[in-house]
Structure 1
Amino acid sequence: MAETTPQPQPQQQLEIRFRIYCGADLFQGIFPLSTTIESIKERIMSEWPQDQSVQPTSVDDIRLMHAENPLVSGRTLGEHRFLIIPGGVVTVLVIVQLPPELRRRAVGTNQDSRIGCTACCNLL
């Protein structure tokens, strides 16, 4: 009887670190590949630091990027490609892209000038 070698199981979850535009880590967690991008955005909204100059007003203001590729709403983590180093943590950049009317209003005031261009700078 031929002996079969066990096949490696495909990875069923990812350890992800979420980093915001200023370079600080928002949080880190282990997520099943079935996790939707919308549920991750909801968690980001709930854990967003109140002392940041840019505040997302809804999950639609949040963009997630990994290796210059967007994580698309309406999909799960398993439907995206990730650069995974064995035993490593995946870093996802969290970008707040305010609606155009809020960007114009923020730039026109004496508030932090980065508010209007945060998304632009991080997307380049």
Structure 2
Amino acid sequence: MAKEDLIEVKFRLFDGTDIGPNKYNPSTTIGSLKEFIVNQWPQDRENAPKTIHDMKLINAGKILENNQTLVESRVLVAELPGGIITMHVVVQPPLSDRNNDKLADNLPKKSRCACSIM
């Protein structure tokens, strides 16, 4: 594969810092990119994803699916000859944590007054 065929991508984290840029084969899957991000995540940052399922990659307003390749995801390459594509990384808590938060919201508040005004 020629060097010109590679796609240069950087990943923008929630705090504005970047991972990359690095060059990838157009047949690279989004899941592989997420694995790279998990391994390269800065150690001093909070909210680090533990698995590829704890994050979403967004490019041009579209959430990218793990099983798709860069080409299948229609990453806009032609519009940026020699340019770097920025994908935004959104970290989401695991589903089990979200369920615990909902349960906590449904519990009665202990600070409520139990008085009746007549």
TM over 0.5: yes
The match for 2:56 is 63
1:97 matches 2:108: no
Runs of 5+ consecutive residues of structure 1 not aligned to the other structure: 1-10, 109-124
Alpha-carbon distance between aligned partners in 1 of 2:98 and 2:20, rounded to the nearest angstrom? 26
The match for 1:121 is none
The match for 1:24 is 17
DSSP 3-state at the match of 2:27? coil
RMSD across aligned positions (CA): 2.1
Report how far residue 99 of structure 1 moved: 1.9
Q: Which has the larger radius of gyration?
A: 2
1:54 matches 2:77: no
Highest relative contact order (Cα 8 Å, sep 6+), 1 or 2? 2
How many pairs align? Answer: 98
Task: Work out the percentage of aligned pairs sharing the same amino acid.
Answer: 37
- In the TM superposition, what whole-angstrom CA distance separates every residue of 1:44-99 from its partner, at most 9, and x where no partner exists? 11000111121112110011001110111111111012233112110000111112
Q: Structure 2 counterpart of 1:89, which letter?
A: I
Alpha-carbon distance between aligned partners in 1 of 2:86 and 2:71, rounded to the nearest angstrom? 16
Query: Which 4+ residue blocks in structure 1 deviate beyond 3 angstroms?
Result: 103-106
The match for 2:114 is none
Alpha-carbon distance between aligned partners in 1 of 2:76 and 2:31, rounded to the nearest angstrom? 21
Q: Structure 2 counterpart of 1:52, which letter?
A: R
The match for 1:88 is 83
1:72 matches 2:80: no
Q: Structure 2 counterpart of 1:87, which letter?
A: G
Q: Structure 1 counterpart of 2:26, which letter?
A: L
Q: Structure 1 counterpart of 2:69, which letter?
A: T
Runs of 5+ consecutive residues of structure 2 not aligned to the other structure: 105-118
TM-score (norm 1): 0.69
TM-score (norm 2): 0.73
